[in-house]
Structure 1
Amino acid sequence: MNRVSLSFLKSLVVASLAVSGFACAADAQHAAAAKADPAKGATLFDSGDAARGVPACASCHGAGGNSAIATNPKIGGQFEQYVYKQLVDFTTPNRNQAIMTTYAKALSDDEKKNIAAYLATQKPTAGAARNKDSVELGRKIYRGGIADKGVAACASCHGATGSGIPAKYPRLAGQHQDYTVAQLEAFKAGARNNSVEMTALSKRLTTDEMKAVADYVAGLK
């Protein structure tokens, strides 16, 4: 190999390393930019952004996401990936809800991620079953499903204690009964259409069965 060829190869190697270095640096910057910031999420959740007409999430969902209003979900301690997905879904026809759709559309993608990251750091409060006459029915459906109606056990996806599976199925334990029933009814009616499984299963449940499951779920810890 002559000296010219050797010099050319050295130049090519140096150039390749430089390009690789720039690519690695760009990837690192992208990763840093994409990383959620729970502190920023906490500020937005607690205080909102008056300049953009975005109210504090806490005004409806309570401090730390632990709503005291039965129709508003407890979201403190919910999985980060799940909360983020729901905020995105609210901006689509799959989960159109007047209040949440308006506010979700006002949030940037990073803000959605920040809020989700903040909520995942919070500790969820416990709930309690209220109807002793139906809680046993709720337990049977949650833990064993209804075989003759093709209803799978809720526990098969959401866990025996309602703890859920990160990035797949949400935590349900302690959730308000009224909210859970409302979501099951929304799935059944097609008003909420962001889960194929829940749409199919909810159509096989009666209102009384929904209420029984919701009450049982509220008492899980």
Structure 2
Amino acid sequence: MLLLLGTNIGVRAEGYDEYELHDRIGSGNPQSGEAKSREELCQGCHGEQGNSTSAEFPRLAGQYTGYIIKQFRDFRSGARQHHVMNAVAGSISDEDLTDIAAYFASRERIRAKQKKPNDIAERLYRTGDMKRSILACSSCHGGAAQGSYAGGESFPVLAGQHKLYLREQLLKWRSKERKNSPGGVMNVVAESLRDEEIEALAEYISSM
């Protein structure tokens, strides 16, 4: 498995076995993806190792390849809107996209130095609130916000993501400005979240 991923790029396994690595990295070539991501200027926004410094651009390091590819194709089709990504998405082939996504998926994500405890956010993350149709975040994104892969669907890594980016996306889900989650689940969840809950979740998850 690791030989297929290329010898010049160390895969940051983070304790995953080879099957979990395959689900996370997919069939792309991270070594080729490194060069392609530089040529296509992906690293200019998302960072050389996929750990962007600007909250406008999400951190992609350690993200599922399948999730990156889906979001990119949604930008290409217009199902998701961003003033930069909609223009970029039309210029990269599917083959190059697969390799670029595999490169970012193979990188080690930034870890928060210390989790910020928050009773409101932790309760919503762990158990949700079924009276308000709020599913537990952990049911899709994992107990440590490490993401998950099930039924051919990738649910994104959230841990260590920019707080302001998480907050912005939750607000977009709530307003239905963004509507590209599987089955519209994020719109259902977010529409019941209060402002203070969105703020608390963004801070809590970014510190995981």
Q: TM-score range by the shorter chain?
A: 0.7 to 0.9
Which residue is equivalent to 1:16? none
- Asked whether the 8 Å contact 1:129–1:216 carries over to 2, the reply is no
Q: Which has the larger radius of gyration?
A: 1
Which residue is equivalent to 2:32? 40
Q: What fraction of aligned residue pairs are identical, expressed as a percent?
A: 31
- Pairing partner for 2:128 from 123, 145, 156: 145
- Asked whether the 8 Å contact 2:133–2:188 carries over to 1, the reply is no
Superposed counterparts of 1:74-93, under 5 Å:
74-93=59-78
Shift of 1:74: 0.8
Name whichever structure is richer in helix by fraction: 1
Which residue is equivalent to 1:58? 43
- Asked whether the 8 Å contact 1:76–1:124 carries over to 2, the reply is yes
TM-score, normalising length from structure 1?
0.75
For each residue in 1:112-150, what CA deviation from the matched residue of structure 2 results, as whole angstroms up to 9, or x when unmatched?
111111111111011367876xx2211111111123312
- Asked whether the 8 Å contact 2:120–2:200 carries over to 1, the reply is yes
Superposed counterparts of 1:189-208, under 5 Å:
189-195=175-181, 196-208=184-196
Query: Quick one: structure 1 residues 128 and 213, their matched pair in 2 at CA, closer, same or farther if it must change by over 3 Å?
Result: farther
Quick check: 1:106 aligned with 2:95? no
Q: CA separation in 1, counterparts of 2:198 and 2:52?
A: 21
Equivalent position SS for 1:94: coil
Query: Quick one: structure 1 residues 71 and 112, their matched pair in 2 at CA, closer, same or farther if it must change by over 3 Å?
Result: same
Shift of 1:46: 2.3
Shift of 1:92: 1.7
Q: CA separation in 1, counterparts of 2:140 and 2:133?
A: 15
Quick check: 1:216 aligned with 2:199? no
User: Which sits farther off after the overlay, 81-90 or 184-193?
Assistant: 184-193
Q: CA separation in 2, counterparts of 1:174 and 1:35?
A: 25
Q: CA separation in 1, counterparts of 2:114 and 2:146?
A: 16
For each residue in 1:80-114, what CA deviation from the matched residue of structure 2 results, as whole angstroms up to 9, or x when unmatched?
11111111111123202111111111111111111
Quick check: 1:136 aligned with 2:119? yes
Q: CA separation in 2, counterparts of 1:110 and 1:171?
A: 23
Shift of 1:185: 1.1
TM-score, normalising length from structure 2?
0.79
User: Which sits farther off after the overlay, 144-153 or 121-130?
Assistant: 121-130
Gapped regions of structure 1 (runs ≥ 5) = 1-33, 49-55
Which residue is equivalent to 1:70? 55
Shift of 1:35: 4.8
Quick check: 1:177 aligned with 2:177? no
User: C-alpha root-mean-square deviation of aligned residues, in Å?
Assistant: 1.9
Number of equivalent positions: 178
Amino acid at match of 1:182: E
For each residue in 1:43-80, what CA deviation from the matched residue of structure 2 results, as whole angstroms up to 9, or x when unmatched?
122232xxxxxxx1111111210111123211101011
